[in-house]
Structure 1
């Protein structure tokens, strides 16, 4: 059996903490030390998900401070590259595991079978990466995560491509473009 407990098991530990007030002081102190040891072993599984080609693997590499092609880097490419969930340890937080998931809506991972194939319930937290406007698959991901009462962040990637494209227009304003992108993310 692993020494680590999952993030969801940590919620049970919190209930144990609440029960400490009913114990005599010496027993409560011993139990508190045991609980602290258990909490030091909480494993947080973070899934990085989104549409195929959104930059999920690049995001995982950036978070870990690993460059493309380095040993241990998530493979990136211009075609569907990630074919199964791949776990990458966080370099400074040993109990945090980043999972690079295949893209939703690709040939191998159709939306209707995606959640089962990636073992959706395995993850404690989600980061939805999108490289363009928030779309139908992003919405389905967010709804499925919320349905399971889990949390997520939405990350907009490849903004440099938008800046480059918009920069060709005569009245380009970087601050206005970024504000427009932020507002689009908030609306959805």
Structure 2
């Protein structure tokens, strides 16, 4: 301070210096706070970036896993339990649990209740693992009762490859009501591998009874309504309406004929081999015994629905019963 400087000038200078010092201190505090806040924001940004990277890695890993699953799904191996494919006809019966696969197989094979080879039937899921049932009298024809999809033991995600559907000769897809997305997925899988399949609607006898009780509709009307519903709301192509409790009604006979065309034998009383007046019988030295047209058409070996064998030779018949 210079000598002789007025006191009020000195005081003003001191106040100015204090103000500048206060402003500097405030700026320093604001800078420190901003730097601290910026540091927190940087940490938050780094945390978010790390989270995004982790999610991206998770998505990529899931893509790769899905790709592996799809590849395995397309090229799944033959199941270990599906053996001896050569020289046999293997027919799979699939569908969600509770649609009546086991009873359907019993009726398809025409096995009496509780007889040897009877597939267990119940109100709960009775098929826990793939089970093979040979066709009576035709052991090379094997019907496979496959567990229902969507259970804890057989999850839907791996059902196609677990059941090895591409290795079957034919597959029947059963439903007791509407065909589900799983049913359509099974159909698409079979179409892809060119495996013949049949879409089967079971328990139509219950629908007929319910519709009669509730709406007074007769059987013909109910069946027509079911077919129209399948055509309009379930684009699955040809479907067969069957009742395992009444296997001789509805579409079961047609289904059996198409499923086993080689087991169908026509009774043609007018076939040349059975008609004495046909050219093959007109040789002068051939004097065959003349039977009625009905008896002529029945000559040969036959098997009924319960595997009893009948051998007709002339007017004699030999019967063998399967124990």
User: Closer, same or farther in 2 for the Cα pair 1:95/1:186, shift >3 Å?
Assistant: farther
1:122 to 2:167 alignment: yes
Q: Contact 1:133/1:184 (CA < 8 Å) preserved in 2?
A: no
Query: For residues 215 and 207 of structure 2, what CA distance do their matches in structure 1 show?
Result: 15
SS at match of 1:94: strand
Q: Which runs of 5+ in 1 are unaligned?
A: 7-41
Determine the structure 2 residue equivalent to 1:90. 135
Deviation, 1:75, is 1.1
Runs of 4+ aligned residues of structure 1 deviating over 4 Å after TM superposition are: none
Cα offsets for 1:33-54 (capped at 9, x unmatched):
xxxxxxxxx3110001111111
Segments of structure 2 that go 5 or more residues without pairing to the other structure are 1-83, 236-323
Aligned residue among 183, 186, 207 for 1:141 = 186
Q: Which of 143, 155, 159 is the equivalent residue of 2:200? A: 155
- Conservation of the 8 A alpha-carbon contact between 1:130 and 1:156: yes
C-alpha separation between the residues in 2 aligned to 1:138 and 1:121?
15
Q: For 2:194 and 2:213, locate their aligned partners in 1 and report how far apart those are by CA, in whole Å.
A: 43
**Equivalent residues in 2 for 1:97-116, closer than 5 Å:** 97-116=142-161
Higher relative contact order (CA 8 A, sep 6+): 1
CA contact (8 A) 1:58 1:68 kept: no
Residue of structure 2 equivalent to 1:59:
104
- Structure 2 length-normalised TM: 0.44
SS at match of 2:89: strand
CA shift, 1:65, in A, is: 0.9
Secondary structure class of the residue paired with 2:88: strand
Deviation at 1:62, TM superposition (A): 0.4
Report Cα offsets for 1:130-165 as digits up to 9, x if no partner: 111112121111111112221101111111111121
